[in-house]
Amino acid sequence: MTDPQAGLTPPQNPYAAAAPAGGLQDNPYAATRPVRPPLTPRARTGAFIAGAVTMVMVSIGGTLIAVPLLLLVIGSIVAAVASSFGGELAGALESIERVAPVGLIIGIGIGVVLLGVVLVVAALFISRGILRARGLERAWPITWAGLGIAAVGGWIASGLLSIPVQLSGPILAGAGGRGSGEIEAVLGIVSSLAGVAVTAVIGAMSWWWMAHVMRPAGAVPAGAAPAGEPAAPAAPGAPAA
C-alpha cells in the first residue's frame, strides 16, 4: 500500500526560531569566550622602543648612583685605616685632602647620585608614556616586570661580555710595543658601545615579552574563531552569508 504523504515536504512550524543568516557568528545571543589577540604592530613597536630607551637610561643612571656610593665606601675604609695606623698613610691622606677638599668631593658625589636618580625615575615615566601612547593600558606592570627581567639578563650579559676584555688584557700587556695604548682605548670604546647595544636589545625583548604576556583579553561569540583560524560552520538549513 502506498503512503499518500510520501514525497511531500512537511509544513514548516511558523513558531520555530529562524537560524541567523550568518550562522553562529552573527547570533548576538551566542555564548562568548575570552580570547587573547596578538599585539598590534603599533603596540609591539612601542614595547620595543620603551624597553630599549628605558634600559639604557636606567643603566646609565644606575652607574651614576653606584660609582659615587662605592667610592664613598672605599674612601671611608681608607680614612678609617689611615687614622688608626697613622704614619705615612695618614700624611698621604692629609695631602690628598689639601688638594681635593672632602666637602667638595662629597658635594660632587651627591650631585652625581641625584642625577642618576633623576635619570632612573625619568626612564620609568618615559616607558609608561610610550606604552600608553601605543595603546598598552597596563603600562606600569609591563614596565616593572620588564625592568626586573632585563636587570637579570643584563647582569648575565655583562658577565659574558667581560670575558673577551679580560682575555685581551694580558695579551696586549705581553705584546707591549708601540700602539698598544691606542689598541686598548679602541677596545674600551668598542666594549662600551657593545654593552649599550646589548642593554638596549635586552630591554626591548623584555618589554615586548611582558607586553605579550599582559596583553588584554577580548571576547568573541562561541561559534566564531579568532584571527587566523577557520570559522565555525553555519547551522544546518541556514542560508549562506
Residue 67 resides in a domain: yes
- What are the angstrom distances between the C-alpha of 14 and each of 11, 17, 28? 9, 8, 22
Amino acid at 174: G
| pLDDT score, position 221 | 42
Residue 48 resides in a domain: yes
Residue 11 resides in a domain: no
* 3-state helix vs strand vs coil in the chain, percent to 5: 70, 5, 30
Residue 6 resides in a domain: no
Whose CA is closest to 61, among 125, 107, 105? 125
**Residue 61, number of CB atoms within 10 A of its CB:** 20
Residue 10 resides in a domain: no
In whole angstroms, give the CA distance from residue 29 to residue 31. Answer: 6
Ramachandran category for residue 19: left, alpha or beta (phi over 0 → left; psi -120 to 50 → alpha): beta
Question: Could you list the residue range(s) of the whole structural domain that residue 58 is in?
Answer: 39-216
How many domains does the chain divide into?
1
pTM: 0.68
| pLDDT score, position 127 | 96
Residue 156 resides in a domain: yes
CA 135 to chain centre: 16
| pLDDT score, position 113 | 94
Residues facing 160 on adjacent strands: none
| pLDDT score, position 175 | 58
Q: Is the Cβ–Cβ distance between 128 and 49 less than 8 Å?
A: no
| pLDDT score, position 231 | 47
| pLDDT score, position 76 | 81
Residue 111 resides in a domain: yes
| Ordered per-residue pLDDT tens for the chain, 241 residues | 555 555 566 666 555 555 455 444 555 555 555 677 888 999 999 999 999 999 999 999 999 999 999 988 887 887 777 777 766 666 666 777 677 777 788 889 999 999 999 999 999 999 999 999 998 989 999 999 999 999 999 888 888 877 776 776 666 656 555 556 677 777 778 888 888 999 999 999 999 999 999 987 764 444 444 444 444 454 455 444 4
Residue 165 resides in a domain: yes
* Alpha-helix runs per DSSP H in 86-138: 88-99, 102-133
| pLDDT score, position 1 | 52
Q: Is the Cβ–Cβ distance between 60 and 224 less than 8 Å?
A: no
Whose CA is closest to 106, among 144, 127, 75? 75
